[in-house]
Amino acid sequence: MSVTLRLKSENWLLLGGYDTQFHEDDPLRTQSLKGLWRYWLRAYISGVMYEAGKLECKRGEKYVCESETKEICEKTGEILGSLKSASKFRIIVNRAFLEKKERIDLRGKEKEAFPQRIRLLSLGRKETQISYGKGLSAEIKIEKAPHVKSISENEKKLALGSLLTALSLNGLGKGGRRGLGTFSVEVDGFEGKFLRGKKIDYSMIRELINETLESARSYLNLTIGKISEMPPVDCISKIRIDLSEIDGSVGLFNKKEVPVFTIIRAKPKDKKMEDIITELQDFFYRPRRSGKMGFGIASADESQDVITRERLAWFLGLPREQRGEGYISDIIRRASPIHLAVHKEEALFTFFLSGDWPTEIKWRRLLDKKKKRRDHIKIEERLLRIDSRIVKEAYLSSISSLENYLSRLGYEYEVIYP
């Protein structure tokens, strides 16, 4: 078994090496690709188990939903390796050509011309510059590992389908969930309705996901049951649940049938790739989101921005704190369930609804910031209690806010999954 992928980078590629800098002698770090591959394979396996009723949302003390994930890890490890066994697949880089390597001065005004995610790299760093790759072309082979005697057709389709999903809905390296590090992908040795002239057609990603889900069901020997509650972890699934009792409105869905996993395709009109990335990344940052929406400066309680007013910005990822303000949790990190991939002609927003959120989050802001002594600054702090209803409200509010944001900036948009 051998499948060839030809990759061509579409924007800034911030793949750091041992020293966090981009290295021309190893422009395509397979470790990053493997990590991304594993995440999406796990999402497929979780999705099929959730649909079959084997993954339930059980109320916990520290998390909104707690569930046993041992079987998910075992099934993922059977394909891509674990501490107990080696991966059944290996990645071979046949060739990799880099057009050029460039640097950004993190101290100067130069960084202001780059998207927010790149500017954030300057926070808390000793380095004064960061390097990135531009114009990377690579050819890689996905092969059966030498120790493996045979791979079933369903294993092959599940593994390769999850890898192609990863390269469609994420980028590689820093900012890979925020539009950076994306590739166009040409495929040899693997067939599917989602391919046009051997290249992945992102408008046909529904076919890629459904074909991969079907292979996952066959591989795990599971069928779809009757599900009414959200999953406990990020899942790729066709399931829709009733959220009609949740506050807020959303134009893209009937609230009685809201998908727990969805992809929204945004198409710009005559905009450069760099401008698209900057604009769409700004959705995740309150000041820029509010500015582009034309909202006036106001306190959180009076903000026109529903994410700010209802204290729902934790849904954009934890930790979310800067200079002592923001959302603080005992949970070290919970990545945002909203992924952004910016390709040449379109951008894809992926939303996951799941219950693996802390039950308590502190919201804090500093008053009288102009005072020089920090011990004299007053602090306003609230304890946010998170339950399944609040998570669902954050999910709907984020989708609704994105709709309004895309309309305001003149993007055409549509749901392309499920």
Give the 3-state DSSP-derived string for the chain, with helices as H, strands as E and coil as C.
CEEEEEEEECCCECCCCCCCCCCCCCCCCHHHHHHHHHHHHHHHHHHHHHHCCCCCCECCCCECCECCCHHHHHHHHHHHCCCCCCCCEEEEEEEEEEEEEEEEECCCHHHHHCCHHHHHHHCCCCCCEEEEEEEEEEEEEEEECCCCCCCCHHHHHHHHHHHHHHHHHCCCCCCCCECCCCEEEEEECCCCCCEECCEECHHHHHHHHHHHHHHHHHHHCCCCCCCCCCCCCCCCCCCEECCCCCCCCCCCCCCCCEECEEEEEEECCCCCHHHHHHHHHHHHCHHHHHHHHCCCCCCHHHCCCHHHHCCCHHHHCECEEECCEEEECCCCCECCCEEEEECCCCEEEEEECCCCCECEEEEEEECCCCCCCHHHCCEEEEEEECCHHHHHHHHHHHHHHHHHHHHHCCCEEEEEEC
Tens digits of residue pLDDT in 32-77: 899 999 999 999 999 999 999 999 888 888 999 988 889 999 999 9
**pTM across the whole model:** 0.92
At 126 the pLDDT is 59
Q: Count structural domains, the chain.
A: 1
Handedness of CA 409, 411, 417, 418 (dihedral sign): positive
- Nearest-angstrom CA–CA distance, 202 and 346: 8
**Which residues of the chain are under the pLDDT cut of 70?**
16-27, 104-114, 117-128, 323, 368-376
Tell me whether strands 2-9 and 129-144 are parallel, antiparallel or unpaired.
antiparallel
Structure tokens at 342: 């910016």
Residue 173 region, left (φ>0) first, then alpha (ψ -120 to 50), else beta?
A: left
Strand order in the sheet with 347-352: 338-342, 347-352, 261-267, 412-417
Please check whether residue 96 is in contact with residue 143, taking contact to mean a CB–CB distance below 8 angstroms.
no
pLDDT tens-digit map of 111-148: 566 677 666 665 555 566 777 778 889 999 999 999 99
Question: What's residue 18's pLDDT?
Answer: 47
- The number of CA neighbours under 13 Å toward the Cβ of 157 is 19
Q: Are 57 and 95 a contacting pair, CB within 8 Å?
A: no
Q: What angle do CA 336, 331, 376 make, to 5 degrees?
A: 100
Other beta carbons within 10 angstroms of residue 241's beta carbon come to 18
Q: What are phi and psi of 375, to 5 degrees?
A: -75, -10
The pLDDT tens digits of the residues spanning 294-334 come to 998 788 888 999 999 999 999 999 877 776 788 988 877 89
Q: Select from 110, 262, 37, 306 the least CA-distant residue to 254.
A: 262
**Encoding tokens for residue 221?**
């020997």
Please tell me the distance from the alpha carbon of residue 138 to that of residue 3, in angstroms, as a whole number: 14
Q: What proportion of the chain, given as a percentage, has pLDDT over 90? A: 65
Give the span between the Cα atoms of 342 and 170, in whole angstroms. Answer: 9
CA distance 27 to 41: 24
Pick from 350, 347, 288, 325: nearest CA to 115: 288
Determine the pLDDT at residue 1: 81
pLDDT for 28 = 78
* Residue 328: C-alpha distances to residues 301, 317, 321 (Å): 19, 11, 7
**Segments forming the whole domain that contains residue 361:** 2-417
Query: Hey, what's the torsion of the CAs at 189, 192, 196, 197, to 10 degrees?
Result: 20
Q: Report how far residue 124's alpha carbon sits from residue 276's, in angstroms, rounded to the nearest whole number.
A: 27
